[in-house]
Homo-oligomer: A and B are copies of this chain.
Amino acid sequence: MTEFLQPGQLLARGVSRHLLSYDFVSVEEFVPERGRRVDVMAMGPKGEIWVVECKSSLADFQSDSKWEGYLPWCDRFFWAVDAVFPVEVLPDDTGLILADAYGAEIIRMGPEGKLPPARRKSLSLKFARDAARRLHRMRDPRP
């Protein structure tokens, strides 16, 4: 179903595949709070939460004025870009993932900024319930 995905969604697919090798499971297009949507939210074996924003082009990155607003919603933050993206424009103190539709590689680990316990709890609950709700919709689609 590759042909139905947008460039950014293809990067997200490659990222989600690769994160499994770190034992992180992902939900795409996750909404941590009203009006904010992250491309990939991933949860690690101890409940660690990573956010990955996928940028398919420089223009896509430059038009994103909201990215610093993602930082309070994760333990680590990463950009995911393709091989032709000019990575020097990305802030140094963020994580970097090189990705394509089929896989990815973590080039630079995002610095750790631990979530406060109350937010971790509510965010984990939302992640759990969103994932289960979407899974339910897929295994039992109804008109």
Contact = CB atoms under 8 A, between A and B. Distances in A.
Interface of A is mostly: helix
A125 interface: yes
B135 A134 contact: yes
A136 B47 contact: no
Contacts of A129: 25, 43, 45
How many copies of this chain?
A: 2
A137 to B, nearest CB: 9
A122 to B, nearest CB: 9
B138 A27 contact: no
A138 B136 contact: no
Interface of A: 13, 16-17, 20, 25-28, 43, 45-47, 121, 124-125, 127-129, 131-136, 138-140, 142
